[in-house]
């Protein structure tokens, strides 16, 4: 018995076969991304089949892009049995070769880390590295390791000089020379302040300075500086030492002060004149304005001067009745 197949079935089958044939037909790509030094047929042509891995052009340099004309691609693949390549109306194909960049900063950090580990100089961010000739950036394959192969690693601890030769993936060996110095944190002046001036937060910043160029009492924490007074003028850019600071002066020279003598059962106060400036806790000399005698006392937080018990002739110095206030304590 002969079976009759409807015409529509033949039409549908023909359409499917045509679509499959068009889909399998080699066709030019608009753009391509490649790795390595060569551009292969499969990078530029869809459905290239068994010839997809055959190289036909050199790739752009790492991190660069280039173009190749459709006509050049057609000519290059013809000898590899791809005839009638569908160019899809494309004039030029863009070829990109991605990369990862090794910057001068990356090289600096790598050398600091290698030297720090090999010569116990500290963490990489604590080492100041300077080059005789600044390193240039370069590119390596995106999948390559960032860790270099060390060919030479020399360091003179006395002078701080280094001589390093490294090889990164896909690159020739490169050599760098310079100095690498361990550093410490140091509070430095952003602006100059005068003697006795209070140091504010905006006046200072923390920088890292070479350890060999930093004095032992250099201050490392900003909180230890802010609110203190300059014992002497501090210029912008200088590192702050502990000896450069003092408590803020609460008594100025030639200022009127209250002299206070306190002993068990009695407190005496009298007016005086400070012969020198002083911060809280400082011992300064003060003139009793009534007796004209000069005595020593400790500056209190409120600006008065406390005369220490046992100071010779203290009572005599404070006795003038016109300025005496005695409180008998029970």
> Residues 104-129: pLDDT tens digits?
999 999 999 999 999 999 999 999 99
Tell me if 145 is assigned to some domain.
yes
167-212 tens-digit pLDDT: 998 788 999 999 999 999 999 999 999 988 999 999 999 999 999 8
Together in a domain, 265 and 296: yes
The residue out of 183, 202, 230 marking a domain boundary is: 183
Average pLDDT over every residue of 75-80 = 94
Tell me if 194 is assigned to some domain.
yes
Distance CA 230, CA 125 (A): 31
Tell me if 77 is assigned to some domain.
yes
Nearest residue to 151 via CA among 134, 172, 121: 172
| pLDDT above 90: percentage of residues in the chain | 67
The residue out of 141, 163, 183 marking a domain boundary is: 183
pLDDT band per the 50, 70, 90 thresholds, residue 309: low
Together in a domain, 204 and 218: yes
User: Can you give the pLDDT at residue 237?
Assistant: 94
Together in a domain, 178 and 121: yes
Together in a domain, 194 and 255: no
The yes-or-no verdict on residue 279 having pLDDT over 50 is yes
Tell me the sheet residues that pair with 95.
Answer: 32, 66
Distance CA 187, CA 228 (A): 13
CA dihedral in degrees (282, 285, 286, 288; nearest 10)?
Answer: 140
Coil, helix or strand at residue 243? helix
Tell me if 1 is assigned to some domain.
no
Q: Which of 85-94, 154-163, 313-322 is predicted with the least confidence, judged by mean pLDDT? A: 313-322
Tell me if 19 is assigned to some domain.
no
User: What's the total number of domains in the chain?
Assistant: 4
State the chain's mean pLDDT as an integer: 86
Tell me if 4 is assigned to some domain.
no
Together in a domain, 110 and 175: yes
Q: Which domain holds residue 159?
A: 102-183
**Which CATH number is 55's domain given?**
2.60.480
User: Can you give the pLDDT at residue 310?
Assistant: 58
Tell me if 11 is assigned to some domain.
no
Together in a domain, 148 and 205: no
User: Which runs of consecutive H residues, i.e. helices, occur in the chain?
Assistant: 7-24, 41-44, 70-78, 104-119, 314-318
The residue out of 212, 247, 282 marking a domain boundary is: 247
Burial 181-203, CB ≥16 within 10 A → b, else e: bbbbbbbbbeeebeebeebeeeb
Together in a domain, 35 and 79: yes
How far from the centroid of its chain's Cα atoms is residue 12's Cα? Answer: 68
**Which CATH number is 190's domain given?**
3.90.1210.10
Tell me if 6 is assigned to some domain.
no
User: Can you give the pLDDT at residue 18?
Assistant: 46
């Amino acid at each position: 018995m002969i079976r009759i197949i409807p015409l529509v079935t033949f039409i549908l089958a023909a359409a499917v076969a045509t679509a499959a044939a068009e889909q399998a037909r080699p066709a030019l790509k608009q753009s391509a991304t490649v790795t390595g030094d060569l551009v292969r047929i499969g990078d530029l042509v869809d459905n290239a089949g068994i010839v997809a891995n055959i190289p036909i052009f050199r790739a752009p340099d790492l991190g660069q892009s280039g173009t190749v004309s459709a006509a050049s691609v057609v000519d290059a693949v013809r000898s590899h049995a791809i005839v009638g390549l569908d160019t899809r109306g494309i004039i030029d194909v863009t070829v990109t070769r991605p990369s990862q960049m090794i910057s001068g900063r990356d090289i600096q950090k790598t050398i600091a880390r290698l030297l720090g580990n090999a010569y116990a100089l500290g963490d990489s961010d604590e080492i100041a590295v300077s080059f005789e000739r600044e390193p240039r950036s370069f590119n390596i394959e995106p999948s390559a390791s960032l860790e270099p192969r060390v060919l030479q690693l020399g360091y003179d601890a006395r002078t701080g000089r280094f001589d390093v030769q490294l090889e990164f993936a896909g690159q020739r060996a490169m050599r760098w020379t310079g100095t690498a110095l361990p550093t410490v944190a140091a509070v430095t002046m952003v602006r100059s302040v005068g003697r006795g001036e209070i140091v504010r937060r905006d006046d200072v910043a923390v920088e890292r300075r070479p350890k060999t160029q930093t004095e032992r009492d250099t201050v490392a924490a900003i909180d230890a500086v802010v609110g203190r007074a300059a014992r002497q003028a501090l210029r912008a850019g200088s590192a702050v030492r502990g000896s450069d600071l003092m408590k803020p002066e609460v008594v100025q020279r030639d200022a009127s002060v209250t002299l206070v003598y306190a002993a068990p059962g009695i407190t005496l106060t009298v007016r005086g004149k400070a012969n020198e400036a002083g911060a809280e806790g400082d011992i300064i000399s003060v003139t009793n304005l009534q007796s004209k005698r000069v005595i020593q006392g400790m500056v209190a937080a409120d600006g008065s001067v406390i005369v220490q018990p046992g100071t010779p002739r203290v009572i005599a110095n404070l006795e003038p009745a016109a300025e005496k206030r005695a409180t008998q304590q029970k």
